[in-house]
């Protein structure tokens, strides 16, 4: 494959055609804030946190789904980008019911960590406080829709790592929701293998191990990395 040369934050880099801006930035040691991105599954550009500026374009582009091109001039940090990233985070907090103090993932949550690392000290928008349910029908896992940010990591790992195809997205906009099979209670699912990869992938406390209480839920992302590494590189690293 042909190599492309481009500039990221003033740094000249080259990478293979087909790589994304996020791939190249990561290789160059530039850390972009991401939330829906998960190593090992394809990107969907659902969260808009990795937005970057590309010279000559007015609109901001998600680094995770934008392929590099020859001569591209990318900026990953600016006043404008910080403004939009903070706005996006505030909107995520305002959209559903994220009550960190009583959340299973308190202290282990990617949304919470991103919020403070991006300087979010409060939410300027009115909280929409919608009514969402909790599916606790599965014998091992629970799904609290109040804490879901619709990143669809769980859907992607379920289809493309486990190959079960149990998790899906239904609906559109703010009323979109993660469903099990044809919108059945999780506990009734005949396709779910109870592998727990969805729980490992979840950035917030939306998916959790039953029995975990506030701040107890850690997601064991290492296990996913182990599987992906073994599959893609044939390396069985402990």
Q: Which is nearer to another protein, 69 or 117 (CB)?
A: 117
Tell me which residues touch another protein (CB under 8 A): 93, 97, 99-103, 106-107, 112, 115-117, 119-123, 126-127, 129-131, 146, 215
Q: Which is nearer to another protein, 107 or 211 (CB)?
A: 107
Shortest separation between residue 171's beta carbon and another protein, angstroms? 19
Sign, CA dihedral 217-47-233-27, equals negative
Shortest separation between residue 127's beta carbon and another protein, angstroms? 6
**Structure letter (DSSP) for residue 218:** -
149's tokens: 């940010």
Shortest separation between residue 83's beta carbon and another protein, angstroms? 17
Q: Which is nearer to another protein, 97 or 212 (CB)?
A: 97
Q: Which is nearer to another protein, 119 or 171 (CB)?
A: 119
DSSP secondary structure string, 109-135? Answer: -HHHHHHHHTT--S--SPP------EE
Shortest separation between residue 106's beta carbon and another protein, angstroms? 4
Q: How far apart are CA 173 and CA 206, in angstroms?
A: 18
**149 within 8 A of 178, measured Cβ to Cβ:** no
Of 212, 206, 190, the residue nearest 135 (C-alpha): 206
């Amino acid at each position: 494959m042909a190599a492309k040369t481009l500039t990221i934050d003033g740094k000249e880099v080259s990478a293979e055609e087909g790589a994304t801006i996020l791939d190249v930035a990561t290789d160059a040691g530039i850390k972009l804030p991401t939330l829906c991105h998960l190593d090992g599954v394809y990107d969907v550009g659902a969260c808009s946190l990795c937005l970057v500026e590309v010279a000559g374009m007015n609109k901001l582009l998600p680094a995770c789904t934008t392929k590099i091109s020859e001569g591209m001039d990318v900026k990953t940090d600016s006043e404008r980008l910080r403004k939009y990233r903070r706005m996006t985070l505030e909107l995520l907090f305002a959209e559903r019911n994220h009550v960190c103090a009583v959340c299973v993932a308190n202290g282990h949550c990617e949304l919470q960590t991103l919020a403070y690392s991006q300087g979010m000290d409060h939410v300027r928008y009115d909280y929409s406080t919608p009514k969402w349910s909790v599916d606790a029908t599965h014998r091992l896992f629970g799904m609290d829709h109040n804490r879901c940010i619709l990143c669809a990591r769980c859907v992607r790992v379920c289809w493309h790592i486990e190959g079960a195809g149990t998790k899906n997205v239904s609906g559109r906009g703010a009323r979109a929701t993660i469903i099990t099979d044809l919108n059945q209670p999780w506990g009734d699912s005949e396709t779910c293998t109870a592998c727990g990869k969805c729980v490992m992938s979840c950035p917030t406390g939306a998916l959790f191990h039953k029995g975990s209480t506030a701040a107890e839920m850690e997601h064991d992302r290492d296990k996913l990395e182990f599987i992906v590494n073994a599959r893609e590189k044939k390396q069985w690293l402990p």
